[in-house]
Amino acid sequence: MPKLIAIIGAGASGLVAAIVSARAGAKVKIFEKNSKIGKKILATGNGRCNVTNKSVKISNYHGLNPKFVNIAIDRFNTQVCRKFFSEIGVELTEGQNGRFYPASLQSSSVVKLLTYECERQNVEILLNQEVQSITKEGEKFALHVEGKKEYADSVLIATGGLAMPTLGASESGYEFAKSFGHTIIQTFASLVQLETKENFKSISGVKLQADVEIVQNREKIVFASGDVLFTSYGISGSAILDISRRVNKILQNSDEVIVNMDLMRQYSKEQLKNILLKRLKNSNAKSVALWLDGFVNSKLALFLSKDLRVKNADDLNTKDIVNLVYKLKNFKITAIGSRGFKSAEVTAGGVNTDEINPKTFESKLQKNLYFSGEVLDIDADCGGYNLHWAWASGYSAGTALV
């Protein structure tokens, strides 16, 4: 008799685990509460699905014990990942910063071909089937689903995290884990937009390239470089998402975090000062805002001009220019919160990895119970690392499940 495996969640991790264990001869059923397979995968990478990255390292991962990822990402490295997807029909192509996408640039092709491979391996995918609880009945697990009981020899919890409830995110994976004695490391949103004390409504929509950092006790504790977008609630953009984990972590014990931004990273302070002093020679009675316009975004020019001592550029002196340079190179914002799980891409925290075997992903507390993907206390940087973790942990769990 083949082993009966129940997988909870037809997301990135659950689908890969299902394929791997079905290929090895197990009888696999996936229970999915959504009416669609891989709803979150469809939303990834702005609909293009950033599947993985050229360089996947432990340093891209976070949690209480990031080294937990080591065996899984070594076994399922970028090459293995590309081969896995190529075998099911998804060719990966390299984009910016080592990011890999399906050559179709459509996340739907990833979902369609994962689904096709599941069907080819006789994996049964049951949609609109929300698992309410899991209990033990003798050697078997009983899954309580929509008023019925479904039995399995082994169970994989691949229910994902709390990010974007509209895509299926729920607490249930943590509840299942707790019911078997597992501890949950406090969850919080990561890769998420930040709310600020300052009101940026007047520069809402201004997008630029900036260096972003948090300095504490004179030490730079986090740094990111890339897009910054001012919004009506605060600040967004890839550089902000990159630092959001650290900001939210600090906000657990503090009311605010000062984020320092270099809005003119292409120039040194000296170069910027010289450019502005040179522009001052042609100020020709312009208002400060108009004088700055043409050099910086016009909304930003108006915003910056409000802080200056004078209204007319002809009246600016060298000290004003030095102050302006300082402001552009050290633009400070006060983060007071984030947009939370409703807007976040990923959940930090989750099932304590000390209680999970890093080779097999089996619970150390309950035999034949497995966890993979975002439900675990592992989250990653932006760049394909979160999906890579979902595939890689699903691959290891799927291999061990049989």
Ligand X SMILES: Cc1cc2nc3c(=O)[nH]c(=O)nc-3n(C[C@H](O)[C@H](O)[C@H](O)COP(=O)(O)OP(=O)(O)OC[C@H]3O[C@@H](n4cnc5c(N)ncnc54)[C@H](O)[C@@H]3O)c2cc1C
Residue numbers at the binding site for ligand X (CB under 6 A): 8-14, 31-34, 39-41, 43-45, 49-50, 130-131, 158-160, 163-164, 168, 170, 172, 345-346, 373-374, 384-387, 390
Least separation in angstroms between residue 217's CB and ligand X is 33
Distances (CA, A) of 169 to 10, 243, 342: 12, 23, 10
**Which CB sits closer to ligand X, 97 or 334?**
97
**Which CB sits closer to ligand X, 8 or 212?**
8
Distances (CA, A) of 60 to 104, 174, 237: 26, 24, 19
**Which CB sits closer to ligand X, 127 or 310?**
127
Least separation in angstroms between residue 39's CB and ligand X is 6
Cα angle 335, 341, 346 (rounded to 5 degrees) comes to 95
Q: What SS3 string covers 320-343? A: HHHHHHHHHHCEEEEEEEECCCCC
Of 378, 375, 372, give the one whose Cα is nearest residue 58: 378
Of the chain, the end-to-end C-alpha distance in Å amounts to 12
Least separation in angstroms between residue 347's CB and ligand X is 8
CB distance 370 to 156 below 8 Å: yes
Least separation in angstroms between residue 163's CB and ligand X is 5
Q: How many CB atoms lie within 10 A of CB 288?
A: 25
Q: Which residue is nearest to ligand X (CB)?
A: 11
**Which CB sits closer to ligand X, 9 or 102?**
9
Least separation in angstroms between residue 200's CB and ligand X is 23
Which residues fall within 8 angstroms of residue 163, CB to CB, at 6 or more apart?
Answer: 169, 189, 191, 341, 344, 345, 346, 347, 374
* Distance separating alpha carbons of residues 201 and 234, to the nearest angstrom: 8
Buried b (16+ CB within 10 A) or exposed e, 69-81: bebbbeebbbebb
**Which CB sits closer to ligand X, 177 or 387?**
387
CB distance 188 to 337 below 8 Å: no
* Distance separating alpha carbons of residues 252 and 395, to the nearest angstrom: 34
Least separation in angstroms between residue 248's CB and ligand X is 16
**Which CB sits closer to ligand X, 123 or 313?**
123
Least separation in angstroms between residue 215's CB and ligand X is 29
Element of type H or E holding 224: strand 219-230
Least separation in angstroms between residue 342's CB and ligand X is 10
**Which CB sits closer to ligand X, 327 or 339?**
339
**Which CB sits closer to ligand X, 110 or 214?**
110
